[in-house]
Homo-oligomer: A and B are copies of this chain.
Amino acid sequence: MELLRSRGYRLTQQRRLVLDAVRELRHATPEDVFRHLRGESESVDLATVYRTLELLTELELVGHARLEGAAETYHLIDHADHVHLVCRGCGSVREAPLSVADGLAEVLRAEYDFEADLGHLVVFGRCGTCRRDNPAADDLGSIT
């Protein structure tokens, strides 16, 4: 948290609250953070939530990914970062260690000269449960 000060930013109550909320909620949209804090004694304006998340992203304290649905979700960058597995059937989000994509990273580096940032990777697909419940995986578009 001294990272803020060391870069010339000010350490405010709101920034503390937003970071804590992201930590607690694991995967949270700005709206999620806003509603989570509404309950507390202190509450934080939605615009401030957006501005703070942007700042925390710049400081690389949080990362974000578009999981599904409209809004972006933010999460802490704990050093053991992860890949998101999003099931189109039930919408569940699991996390897998970055190592599952080691091969991909290697190929992209070697053959495409592309340095992948896999901490933000989102893989859509279907989990085992949904595949067994509904093997006719055809008409999924309309789940929304």
Chain A residues in the interface with B (C-beta under 8 A) = 54, 57-60, 66, 85, 87-88, 94, 96, 100-104, 107-108, 111-118, 120-128, 131, 139-142
User: B residues within 8 A CB of A123?
Assistant: 104, 108, 114, 116-118, 121
Q: Are B124 and A116 in contact (CB under 8 A)?
A: yes
In the complex, chain B residues whose CB is within 8 Å of the CB of A100: 104, 107-108, 111-112
A122 near B122: Cβ-Cβ < 8 Å: yes
Assembled-state Cα–Cα distance A58/B139 (Å): 6
Copies of this protein in the complex: 2
Q: Are B58 and A141 in contact (CB under 8 A)?
A: yes
> Which chain B residues border A121 with CB–CB below 8 Å?
121, 123-124
The residue that A58 contacts in the complex, of B66, B101, B124, B142, with Cβ under 8 A, is B142
Are A125 and B131 interface neighbours, CB within 8 A?
A: no
A100 and B100 CA atoms in complex are apart in Å by 13
- Once A57-B141, A58-B141, A104-B104 are accepted as A-B contacts, the answer to whether A124 and B113 lie under 8 Å apart by CB is no
**With known contacts A66-B66, A100-B104, A103-B104, A114–B141 Cβ distance under 8 A:** no
A132 to chain B, nearest CB (A): 10
A127 CA / B88 CA spacing, docked (Å): 30
Q: List 21 A-B contacts (CB under 8 A).
A: A57-B141, A58-B140, A58-B141, A58-B142, A59-B141, A60-B141, A85-B112, A85-B116, A87-B114, A96-B108, A100-B107, A100-B108, A100-B112, A103-B103, A103-B107, A104-B123, A108-B125, A113-B128, A115-B127, A116-B123, A120-B124
